[in-house]
Amino acid sequence: MWGGKTEALISRLVRARIQEIPVLAFNPKKNDRYGTQDIRAHSGAMFPALPVLSGADILEAVQRDQPAVVGIDEFFMIPGALAAVQTLVKKRIKVVVSTLDLDSEGVIWEDLGQLLAMAEEVVKCPAVCAVCKADAYFTYRKGFAPSERLLVGTDDFYEPRCRNCFDEGQEAKRAATGEGSLFEGGA
């Protein structure tokens, strides 16, 4: 969400390539905003990547190409990616991942808790809140966007928000649809 996470991934992959370490990068086929043959940041930075549908595709390519470093963009979009990462780590292959940790409702993506627990290093790259300009860790889905959980899009459907502006936006969407308050009767 414009926080620089993909840019950070690309930077690490480029550094490994400069060190002459064999690198292989992956981009989910679903992530077709800028094509699938490269990992691309919103800034225009890019790194060559193989488009994949599943974690099994990642393992097949790694078996074939034998990299020492693997980069995975948009981890949450790749079914079976966690199992692939677990296999790669056991083989002592360095894995660098870029992903959103929460969906646009603030719900953690499946497998992210396990991925974070396995990680040797976690770097969060906050965006800038579209409303108040504070650090933004949430992806706010605009009210007119289609409703499927995994919706590939850019600023046409989403905007980065801080916790307060995210909660206020969610509350406003609930009020507009007549749903109950986000804050009623609970934590």
Catalytic residues: 74
Whether residue 75 contacts residue 139, with contact meaning beta carbons closer than 8 Å, is answered with no
- Residue 184 and residue 181: Cα distance in Å, rounded? 5
The 8 Å CB, 24+ separation contacts for 165-172 are 165/129, 165/130, 165/131, 165/132, 165/134, 165/136, 165/140, 166/106, 166/136, 166/138, 166/140, 168/131, 169/131, 169/140, 170/105, 170/106, 170/140
Largest Cα separation within the chain, whole Å, is 57
Whether residue 32 contacts residue 152, with contact meaning beta carbons closer than 8 Å, is answered with yes
- Residue 145 and residue 154: Cα distance in Å, rounded? 11
